Amino acid sequence: MENRIPSQPPRGNFGDFPKPKKDEQEFGPAKKDIIMCPACNAVYFEKSWHHYIEEYKHLNSEKDIKFELCPADEMKKKGLFEGQVTIENVPRGKGKDIINQVQNIGQRAYDRDVLDRILDFHYLGDKIEIKTSENQLAISIGKEISDAHKGSDVEVKFSKEEDVTRVRVWWPDA
């Protein structure tokens, strides 16, 4: 029996998902100026977005500073999103815990990358809907909620037409 390397990677539990986009594909070519987001104070320099202008080591008066929305705030303004999480049939007494956990997951993602955010959050009775700027964040939220709260099921689907990952977490017997 010969050992062969498969030409295609094996499919995971949730099927094929798109490869992460490079910044240039997603946001266009790098800009030379410093850009500040008036909505969240994120700062663009050295080919990426950062939390603070103080992180820029070469700040001087020769660089122009422009004010434009960062890609995450631009998505929010236009009502766009890459990830959607729907948490359904939330058992009584678990709503606050789940909301806190979702907010903590969102904060951790934002702390790592200024463009990873929860863009929209609605809690309607036994249903919670969340829209995120990154599909990976939606998947993380769904998996962490399902892992932390026993008796729930999780389902992840990617829509190629919309370029959106949809995650559903629900409790069948609640």
Q: In CATH, what number is assigned to the domain containing residue 120?
A: 3.30.70
pLDDT mean over 55-66? 74
User: Last residue of a domain, which of 32, 50, 68?
Assistant: 68
- So what's the pLDDT on residue 2? 45
Q: Are 141 and 117 in contact (CB under 8 A)?
A: no
How much is the pLDDT for 60? 64
Q: Count CB atoms within 10 A of the CB of residue 32.
A: 9
CA triple 13-140-52, angle to 5 deg: 145
- Confidence grade of residue 12 (pLDDT, cut at 50, 70, 90): very low
Task: Report yes or no: 73 and 108 within 8 Å, Cβ to Cβ.
Answer: no
User: Does 50 share its domain with 27?
Assistant: yes
Q: Is residue 160 part of a domain?
A: yes
Q: Do residue 92 and residue 154 come from a single domain?
A: yes
Residue 171 DSSP code:
-
Q: Is the pTM of this model over 0.85?
A: no
Does a structural domain hold residue 2?
A: no
* Element at 131 (helix H, strand E): strand 127-132
pLDDT at 59 over 90: no
Helices (H) and strands (E) in the chain, counts: 4, 9
Residue with more model confidence, 78 or 11 = 78
Residue 10 domain-assigned (yes or no): no
93 vs 70, which has greater pLDDT? 70
User: Where does the chain have alpha helices with state H?
Assistant: 23-27, 71-78, 95-112, 135-148
Distance (Å, whole) CA 147 – CA 69 = 35
Q: How far apart are CA 49 and CA 52, in angstroms?
A: 9
Average pLDDT of the residues in 51-76:
84
Give residue 59's domain range: 23-68
40 and 85, same domain (yes or no)? no
- Of the pLDDT bands very low, low, confident and very high (cuts 50, 70, 90), residue 28 is low
Token representation of residue 49:
């977005």
The answer to whether the Cα torsion of 150, 110, 115, 123 is positive or negative is: positive
The answer to whether residue 137 scores a pLDDT higher than 70 is yes
Q: How far apart are CA 23 and CA 20, in angstroms?
A: 9
Report whether 69 contacts 99 (CB < 8 A). no
The pLDDT assigned to 4 comes to 44
Q: Tell whether 15 is covered by a domain.
A: no
Mean pLDDT, rounded, of the chain: 84
Mean pLDDT on 11-23: 53
51 and 116 within one domain: no
Domain match, 39 and 118 both: no
Q: Give the pair of three-digit tokens for residue 37.
A: 């987001």
Domain count within the chain: 2
d(CA 132, CA 72) in angstroms, rounded, equals 9
**Rounded average pLDDT over 96-118:** 96
* pLDDT at residue 26 in the model: 60
